[in-house]
A = this chain, B = another copy of it.
């Protein structure tokens, strides 16, 4: 019940233990095609360049930025937590200029501030975190998407924690590039990052003047392995992890996206009521709270590390500590995918009551 990885369904564990085939085996290409279709469906997109990076969510973040940016470009980066900062760091490593839009940790990014930042430069893209795992903030995206389009820039979204846990509509919301992770609300093991690029993003990629700085993440090469007639060898795909992802995606679609989102919301409310009756306060204003990542202030006089240690050792329950300015000040309680479950909520509440 930390900020991910979440629990994994036994069906996914079993799928992962299937004997291997080669990464160019016709049977494995079918697995890739199945995954692509289901990632499209769960992201609500028709983007043809929809695929999975063979590495964790951070590599998905890097994939989006290194493929779209070149030295000298300008990028507006929205920062209200750890992952916005990480995007800014990567943009600088691309030799591009970062224009920051900042908000206090625990608050959402203000569209007015975005508007000013976009007007102050010649932006190639704007990047923003949909679900900030370090603070529990759900960022509304539609208004900022429109502002970004009006400024002629690409709209890039970090959906690592929101994907498969709350509404996320790539096409309808005008998202041009998006990355997620396998280990949050999808409930597959960590290590893979679903990514999608719109046609506008592909056009930027196709018109680059310089090579993408990472060979491993270079989509001009990777896309020929995921699509195209030839399915050209690029790198050896993580076969077993892909078996697991296919099974996890099937489980999501069997449940249905709307049912899954409702379940995440319901269990969040159950946890919220329980925590509030124990005297906890949420960090984030009600309307911007994530259902899958609950950030609460640690009550006065409670020892952060000791309580988390006892929860882990005596109750086998992991919850997350705070990061950055919130280290020692908040806990982050995950209710993601298979872990978004009334039994999980009840056992944590009972254990917390005992320990505190």
Which residue numbers of A lie inside 8 Å of B, CB to CB?
2, 4-5, 7-8, 13-14, 16-23, 25-26, 54-59, 62, 86, 89-90, 92-94, 181, 183, 189-191, 211-216, 233-241, 244, 312, 318, 323
A90 CB contacts on chain B under 8 angstroms:
215
> In this complex, what residue of B is CB-closest to A215?
B90
Instruction: Decide if A54 touches B57 in the complex (CB within 8 Å).
Output: no
| Docked CA distance A275–B79 (Å) | 62
- Residue among B19, B93, B312 making CB contact with A7, cutoff 8 Å: B19
Is A216 a contact partner of B92 (Cβ separation < 8 A)?
no
Say how many copies of this protein the assembly contains: 2
Q: Given the complex of chains A and B, what is the CA–CA distance between A348 and B233 in angstroms?
A: 24
Residues on the B chain within 8 Å of A318, using CB:
21-22, 25
- A236-B20 in contact (CB<8A): no
Known: A16-B16, A20-B8, A244-B240. A213 touches B93 (CB 8 A): yes
- A215 cross-chain contacts in B, Cβ below 8 A: 58, 62, 86, 89-90, 93
In whole angstroms, how far apart are the Cα atoms of A14 and B62 in the complex? 32
| A262 CB, nearest partner CB in chain B, Å | 25
Taking CB atoms, residues of chain B closer than 8 Å to A26 are: 312
Q: Which of B62, B212, B239 contacts A5 (CB 8 A)?
A: B239
Contact (Cβ within 8 A) B189 A312: no
Inter-chain contact B19/A5, CB cutoff 8 Å: no
Known: A86-B215, A93-B211. A183 touches B17 (CB 8 A): no
Q: How far is the CA of A234 from the CA of B318 in the complex (A)?
A: 18
B241 touches A238 (CB 8 A): yes
Question: Do the beta carbons of B14 and A235 come within 8 Å of each other?
Answer: no
- A sample of 21 inter-chain contacts (CB < 8 A) reads A13-B17, A13-B18, A14-B17, A16-B17, A22-B318, A23-B190, A26-B312, A54-B59, A55-B59, A56-B237, A62-B214, A62-B215, A89-B215, A93-B215, A189-B238, A190-B238, A191-B237, A191-B239, A191-B241, A213-B214, A240-B241
